[in-house]
Structure 1
Amino acid sequence: MTKLSTVELAIYAVLVLPAAFILSKHSKPGLLGWFYLVAFFTLRIVGGAMALSGSSSASIVANIGLSPLILAAAGILHEARIYRHRNLNTKVEWIKILLFHLQVTGGVALLAAGASGLQSSNPSSSDQALVKVGIAILTVAWAVLFGWAMLSLRSSGGVQGTHAQRLGTMKLLYAVLFSCIFIGIRTLYSLVAMTSNKPNLNPSTGSLAIRVVLGFLPELVAVLGFIAVGFYTRAIRDASQAEPGYEQAGSTMIEMKPQQQQGGHALLSTV
């Protein structure tokens, strides 16, 4: 546990810096996704430090760390949908986001409550039940997220924008789909580990090889995918603002009058 915690702490302490930079560049449309990615790194750093200090609460922090990663993927998908669909009903979209957040929050709350009870001096069967229900809810949330991303990729109605903007939007969508595969591996590993109660599958004290292959590496690959695409699309908002006929206001797109239109394209790789 100590060696893996040291590696996690070192890697995520480095990755949180580019994640914070990407958050500042993507601004309001990407606030949800990139904020939760920074939150995920922060939780992993805190959890790693607690594990190294021998804190009994480290496993609880490790268990709830999956939720901000799922929410980060949902937020990045939301950003891609904003740029991809100019006729997107923002009220309906935000209702979907809110309901998804409530689902994930409810799942992680049950998981944390159950895990805390199991760490106490008098664990009960109800604590184990809470853990199982909580991780089951998070697994369903991951399935919903993956299906949502697939539908967003297939649906092309109302797609507009500059070539650079469309390219950046597709990069964001593909990043979500790519990372969802590895988030799914991590989520299913937690589901099996927490429902089977096999010692070698325990996310905190089980086999090191299993924890690395099914726990640490899937998370790392997922976040590296987000970091790479987030850096590549760091000027997507500028590309949107430079598109003739449209002006971006927060997370909605407003059509401009002809005399207000401006030409030009912004490269996504411009800082």
Structure 2
Amino acid sequence: MNGEELREALRSEMASTNPPPPLSTGDTLDAARRARLRRRALWASLGSAAVVVAVTGFAAVGTPGGRVYQPAGQRPPVSPGSSVDTKEPWPTGPDGRPQEDRTARAGSKHDQGVELLNEVVSAVPAGYSTPEDPANQPADQRTLRTHQAQFEDKVNGVDVWSYLSSVAVAQGKGTGRVIVEVHAAGNQLPAEPCMLARGFWGMQGECRVETVGAAQVGVVIRPGSDDRLDQWSAYRHPDGVVVFVAQGAKLDESRSALTKLPFTVPQLAALAVDERFHLK
């Protein structure tokens, strides 16, 4: 077969083959729009999560009022027979029905959270104010005062709770915060003072042991790579109740930081032992 015959055979073969359907401009545009919408939805979901972290500085959950709440301390692994394993209902509220989630919104546990908040406010030293939230606080703004009572686990048939209160403290143009978190007896947190302190919110840091009377208190005087807070103390009472007291020079990115932390290291250690925070 010479060159001319080969070309003729190819032309005949192509002529006998059904051509593909013509491209539809409308179909192509529709496919492109669907792909673009999928990308936008993905970025929107990622963006909303990023906003929560940017506003709070934490992986956050919502409070009963829909505001942003700082998380409770690092939880121990779920123990066998816990509510997570057995699918037991949440603890019973004052209305006689199980709670909707971990947070107590009424009743004695909720009241203890309020009590803790009041004690934290009273512990702030002279020279610092404790501003309250405005009446019409934007939902995306960090709250100046926060309290929560939270069910943690069921250990040996007993409900174990934690309580957290966060209070903004201001001096001059700067605003920082003081946080107290209490874990009821029965918690699975470590006993060694610095191991306990370094485990607070999983932050780690440079720790030393302070002696307060007969008590040994772990105090992180300098955080590691996680600098959400500047210093914090940790103490386990003989009855098993654990108290964390933390302070930070900065409340959020929208406000100037304090030039001086409210408490010295010995004062921070003494607060962890203070009976005002020894919730039972």
Query: Normalising TM by the smaller chain, what interval?
Result: under 0.3
TM norm structure 1: 0.23
Tell me which of the two structures has the higher relative contact order, counting C-alpha pairs closer than 8 angstroms and 6 or more residues apart. Answer: 1
TM norm structure 2: 0.22
